[in-house]
């Protein structure tokens, strides 16, 4: 039932369009998203949360049930999906489990969620460097839907799915990651400072 509902929503939500990296103007987009996620997940309250649209390649931050900022992202090259070893970006309802890098310099490189001391060089070209560098900040997410994005074979947290900075900023807006959600370094630092653990995240393939 949920799969059908999500599929039917794709055309409905994708018809809306906003400018990237700007404060939102008066629009019905926020109301559409709020109505949709509230209907899909009636046990949760959506006021301050994150919405990620895979086909739109955007991350939208809501505060007090209103859009306050939206960012271009890069999700997985393999598309969306919740299976282990799929290298796909997971779908459904998630939460921020933990945050890493409060004191890490912008463009600082992480290995196993620890700052290595290295500062990455940002690549602005549209060609891949073949280096999946995690930089600046890490927001680790956890699935909340048992059997869908939580539990054996589909667990987002165990898959180590992050929202993080990247050295390949020239590819932002394209599906190129190995499952994580990539952001520009200044954008992930800004988002990191605006969100807290346990904030809800809804990821949809729309």
pLDDT digits (tens, 9 = 90+) for 99-118: 999 999 999 999 999 999 99
- Residue 127 has a pLDDT of 81
The whole model's pTM is what?
0.86
pLDDT, residue 25, reads 47
| Residue indicated by tokens 């927001």 | 139
Residues 150, 41: Cα–Cα separation, whole Å: 16
122-126 contact pairs (CB < 8 A, 24+):
122/167, 122/169, 122/185, 123/167, 123/168, 123/169, 123/170, 124/169, 124/170, 125/170, 126/170, 126/171, 126/174
In this structure, the number of other CB atoms found within 10 A of the CB of residue 48 comes to 17
- Taking CA atoms, 131 is separated from 47, 93, 167, in Å, by 36, 29, 8
- 10 beta partners: none
pLDDT in tens, 15-29: 444 444 544 444 588
- Sequence-distant (6+) residues with CB within 8 A of 206 are 6, 9, 10, 13, 14, 53, 54, 55, 56
Res. 30: pLDDT tops 80:
yes
DSSP code at position 122: P
Digit-coded pLDDT (tens) for 54-91 = 999 999 999 999 999 999 999 999 999 999 999 999 99
For 146-198, the pLDDT digits (tens) are: 999 999 999 999 999 999 999 999 999 999 999 999 999 999 999 999 999 99
Q: What band does 10 get if pLDDT is binned at 50, 70 and 90?
A: very low
What was the pLDDT predicted at 27? 52
Q: Residue 13: pLDDT band by 50, 70, 90 thresholds? A: very low
In angstroms, the CA 102 to CA 45 distance is 27
Percent of the chain whose pLDDT exceeds 90: 80
């Amino acid at each position: 039932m949920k799969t059908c509902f999500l599929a039917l929503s794709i055309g409905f939500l994708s018809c809306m369009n906003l400018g990237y990296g700007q404060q939102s103007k008066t629009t019905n987009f926020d109301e559409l998203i709020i109505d949709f996620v509230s209907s899909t997940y009636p046990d949760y309250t959506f006021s301050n949360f994150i919405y990620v649209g895979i086909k739109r390649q955007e991350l939208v931050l809501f505060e007090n049930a209103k859009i306050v900022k939206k960012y271009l992202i890069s999700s997985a090259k393999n598309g969306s999906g919740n299976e282990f070893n799929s290298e796909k970006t997971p779908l459904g309802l998630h939460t921020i489990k933990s945050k890493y890098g409060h004191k890490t310099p912008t463009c600082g490189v992480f290995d196993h969620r620890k700052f290595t001391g290295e500062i990455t060089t940002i690549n602005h070209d549209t060609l891949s460097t073949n280096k999946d560098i995690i930089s600046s900040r890490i927001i680790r997410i956890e699935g909340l839907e048992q059997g869908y994005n939580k539990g054996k074979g589909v667990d987002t947290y165990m898959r180590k799915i992050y929202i993080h900075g990247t050295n390949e900023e020239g590819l932002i807006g394209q599906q190129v990651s190995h499952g994580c959600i990539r952001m520009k370094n200044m954008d992930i630092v800004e988002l990191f400072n605006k969100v807290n653990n346990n904030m809800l995240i809804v990821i949809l393939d729309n």
